[in-house]
Amino acid sequence: MKAIVLTPKTLFRLNQFSISDEWFNHFGLPEHENNIKRVVVGNIVYFLERELESDDCPVIVINLGAEGVFSDAPSRAATLERIITTARSIYTDSVSIPTSWRKHHEGSFLSIQATPRNYGWRARLHFNIRPRGSKDLFAFSRLDDTVAFSNLDLHLDIYDAAKADLAQAVLTAHEPTPMESRAGITLSQRLPQGFIQGATLDQWYTSKLTVEQRQFVDKPHDGPVRLRGSAGTGKTLSLVIKFLRDAIAAESDHRPMKFGFLTHSFASVDLVNSIGESLDTTGLFYASGKNVKLEVRTLYDLAHKHLNFELDQLIPLSLDGREGRRLQSELIETVLRELANSNIAGAQFQDVSPDIKQRWSAAASGGDKRLIAEVMNEFASVLDAEGVRSGEEKGERYAKGTAPRPAWLMQLHTEADRRFVLEIHRRYRKHLGEMNTLSVDQMIGDFNSFLDSNRWDRIRSRDGYDVLFVDELHLFTSVERQILHKLIKRNVEEDGRPKRPAIFMAYDLKQSPRDTFATYGDGDQNLFSASTGLQGSELVKLERIFRYTPQIAEFLADLDATFPAIDIPGEWDAYSGKAELESGSVPDLTVFPDEVSLFSTVFNDAHKVARSIHGGGRRVAVLCAGDDQFDTYLIAASGQFPGKYLPITSREPSSELRHAGKRFIFSMPEYVAGLQFDTVFLIHVDASEATLDAGDGIRRRFISNIYLGSSRAEKTLRISACMSRGGKSDILDMALDRKSLIETAPPPGKKRRL
């Protein structure tokens, strides 16, 4: 084959299928696909809408000939995913290209990294976004190294051939794909993220939603509304249904409106798009309607777009992924070492509390890293989030301790302690500056200032949203929460008073593995303090659980009882949930003697389940609760279990899940937030992660992490810990006592090395 040609709609439709490696041999269609026709003309395969009647629509042409885009077999499914995202960023407003793909743009040429980093980072994928002045998109080459655009072979002969036969393809009737060419593509009922397709939007609304979900979906646009519920109560689904229903209603009433859907991660954008596309029969999700415009974005995308970072060549450092956080941890460690080695700093900070002094010297000598984790959390939740800087007014207030500070944050008792943290932060920012980069939190700070500027005031009525939907609000920092209402167009009531912003937000504070929801420096510790413009919002609570079995719900209820109390008035309810699913097995706990036996047993077990389970390996996840163990196992697994697992190391590339085949998922709880699996192996729920005397903050974050990871399981939850790291954590004691978690003996181990 020389090329494949798709319309934007058929290309996006590929997202609803599960595609594996064999598909790339014949490019077939599954048997029951009734919307797309597949036609082969000459050496070119066309995927077109069945109802398409003319050839003047935009198409995406993918070169399969010389320098072909799918020339590297192991990574081609991942490359297809990148082509879909690139096309989405061009033809819809639903995504933009993630910064980590290292996009380069000149005139009508665009290049991105061809594959995620685990396949290597050098190869580049090249697009022509207006070949021969058309509205088409041509993915014309994949090269193993970076080549200047002026030296590229444009392969326009392939594009011309594809276009020449397009009319012929439109006129040709659909030919069912022969049996032998159908391999590698299946139309699965379940989306990779767990959502079960089948019911239409109307069916969901009229007969499946619970009374509370429907109450939320029916809310008018006259003020902010919160949707709160434990994991798996259908928050995301209710938001998407409301988003779509309200948009369809506005479109049919000819009301011009701009709808925004904001999330915290690219993975959630992907989830929302997939559910939306599966429910939407009107096509609003694929392209804006005549009156209505839909945008699904991460907050960072939006900030990026408005702040024009591309022009400044500044690359924001994502601290959401494991890689970014490792770098941040290394920078902080370097700073702690610098400070330990400097006589001046030694004298300056001789008065820090003995406890911090001791942990400082442990961290500087590469031992106990807990101080680093605490400092990282302090940066993310307070200093970067609130724009507190040493030497500035906010910094002084921080140092003097005049601003109120939630009790569960890092314990900084004295002014010397706080000045010490400010100094680490100052030096850390200096290092970042030298790397010509800035952290995402710093970017958000700039975005917040931009939204207060006169410039935004001018364009707000054009670029702002009429209504905004926000998922996973618990991951938003207090500055991010302050941003939301500024994104809404300014509207006034008939009597001249400003209208309350129509913002619909879903959250579950207990799923936050960092203290981002802390409100610092504002007398009001409420989640929606006055500065957010969201006070007094209405609340809808969800209590029925649709993701997991009653046994898992019971375990989560016992885990919940171990959360330390948190001073956020009205937001820290006890876990309540009634599971709607059938019974399953009771979650179990295995304590292994050491890391080697834990790793090899769990990975072998996960591999076995992944091979046999209906729906493939993507239904099985091994989630690691410890940072360092995750890094170690990532390396060990690449040698010992090659091709058997799919690593997810940031909140970005979840769409790869579709192509997991028989590979199981290996990740950490925070990177799979929002997703669900049949079976979850949650590893390293170890005592050493959060000892009894570790302080409320550390314990709360650890329990949140375990709650987040456990609640991803639908049917089977298997927890493990290891003796060499202190044995099982005491946070499991209540569940063990109440028998909602059962301990089993580890299998006799064969020795392997890590």
Ligand X SMILES: Nc1ncnc2c1ncn2[C@@H]1O[C@H](COP(=O)(O)OP(=O)(O)OP(=O)(O)O)[C@@H](O)[C@H]1O
**Interface positions with ligand X (CB under 6 A):** 194-195, 208-210, 213, 229, 231-237, 508, 511, 546-547, 674, 711
Residue closer to ligand X (CB basis): 210 or 411? 210
**Chain residue whose CB lies nearest ligand X:** 234
Residue closest to 271 by CA, chosen among 675, 628, 690: 675
178: left (phi over 0), alpha (psi -120 to 50) or beta: beta
Residue with smaller CB distance to ligand X, 48 or 267: 267
Number of Cα atoms under 13 Å in the Cβ half of residue 723:
7
DSSP one-letter string for 254-278: T--EEEEEEESSHHHHHHHHHHHHH
- Taking the complex as a whole, the smallest distance from the CB of residue 629 to ligand X amounts, in Å, to 24
Distance, CA of 577 to CA of 232 (rounded, Å): 9
Beta strands in 651-699, from DSSP E residues, in sequence order? 664-667, 677-683
Other CB atoms within 10 A of residue 744 CB: 11
Distance from chain centroid for Cα 250: 29
CB 216 to ligand X: min, Å: 11
Give which of 51, 80, 39, 287 is closest to 166, Cα–Cα: 39
Minimum CB separation of residue 299 from ligand X in Å reads 17
Single-letter code of the amino acid located at 69: V
Residues 6+ apart with CB under 8 A from 752: 596, 600, 640
202-235: buried (b, 16+ CB within 10 Å) or exposed (e) per residue? eebbeeebbebbbbbbebebeebbbbbbbbbbbb
Minimum distance of ligand X from residue 637's CB (angstroms): 26
Q: What share of the chain is helix, strand, coil (3-state, %, to 5)?
A: 45, 20, 40
Beta carbons within 8 Å of 735's beta carbon, 6+ residues apart: 555, 558, 559, 587, 741
Closer by beta carbon to ligand X, 613 or else 637: 613
> What's the N-to-C CA distance of the chain in angstroms?
44
Please report how close the Cβ of residue 447 comes to ligand X at its closest, in angstroms: 25
- Comparison of 500 and 547: residue with beta carbon closer to ligand X: 547
- Tell me how far, at minimum, the Cβ of 578 lies from ligand X, in Å: 12
| Distance, CA of 217 to CA of 211 (rounded, Å) | 10
Task: Please identify, using beta-carbon distances, which residue of 92 and 268 lies nearer to ligand X.
Answer: 268
Cα–Cα dist 239/641, whole Å = 39
Instruction: Give the per-residue SS3 of 79-126.
Output: HHHHHHHHHHHHHCCCCCCCHHHCCEEECCEEEEECCCHHHCCCCEEE
Q: Are 513 and 668 in contact (CB under 8 A)?
A: no
Could you tell me the smallest distance in angstroms from the CB atom of residue 227 to ligand X? 9
For residues 241 and 332, which CB has a smaller minimum distance to ligand X in the complex?
241
CA 656, chain centre distance (Å): 12
Closest contact distance (angstroms) between CB of 271 and ligand X is: 8
**Shortest Cβ 209–ligand X spacing (Å):** 5
Task: Enumerate the known binding-site residues for ATP.
Answer: 229-236
100 versus 511: smaller Cβ distance to ligand X: 511
CA-nearest of 11, 74, 22 to 45 is 11
Residue 268: closest CA among 535, 15, 117, 472: 472
Q: Of 210 and 531, which has the nearer Cβ to ligand X?
A: 210
Considering the complex, what minimum distance in angstroms separates the CB of residue 656 from ligand X? Answer: 19
User: Would you tell me how many other CB atoms lie within 10 Å of the CB of residue 669?
Assistant: 23
- State which residue, 583 or 638, has the beta carbon closest to ligand X: 583
8 Å CB contact between 174 and 39: yes
Q: Which is nearer to ligand X, 115 or 549 (CB)?
A: 549
Report yes or no: 138 and 159 within 8 Å, Cβ to Cβ.
yes
For the chain, what is the radius of gyration of the CA atoms?
26
- Which regions of 447-604 does DSSP assign to beta strands (E)? 467-470, 503-507, 538-542, 544-545, 578-579, 588-592
**Nearest-angstrom CA–CA distance, 222 and 203:** 26
C-beta of 236: minimal distance to ligand X in Å? 3
Closer residue to ligand X, CB minimum distance, 83 or 209: 209
Instruction: Quickly list DSSP for 272-310.
Output: HHHHHHHH-SSSTTTS--SSEEEEEEEHHHHHHHHHTHH
Q: In the complex with ligand X, which residue's Cβ is closer, 233 or 601?
A: 233
CB atoms within 10 A of CB 72: 17
Q: Based on CB atoms, which residue is closest to ligand X, 4 or 545?
A: 545
Q: Residues marked as binding?
A: 229-236
Minimum CB distance to ligand X smaller for 316 or for 615? 615
CA angle 445, 450, 454 (to 5 degrees): 150
**Backbone torsions φ then ψ of 48, nearest 5 degrees:** -130, 160
Residue 437: its H or E element: strand 437-439
Least distance to ligand X, CB of residue 571, Å:
15
Q: How far is the CB of 46 from ligand X (least distance, A)?
A: 34
The token duo for 485 is: 């209402």
467-470-475 Cα angle (round to 5): 155
- In the complex, the smallest distance separating the C-beta of residue 540 from ligand X, rounded to whole angstroms, is 12
Residues in Cβ contact with 751 at an 8 Å cutoff, skipping those fewer than 6 apart: 596
Report, in Å, the least distance between residue 199 CB and ligand X. Answer: 9
Please tell me whether residue 19 adopts helix, strand or coil conformation: strand
**Which of residues 667 and 711 has its CB atom nearest to ligand X in the complex?**
711
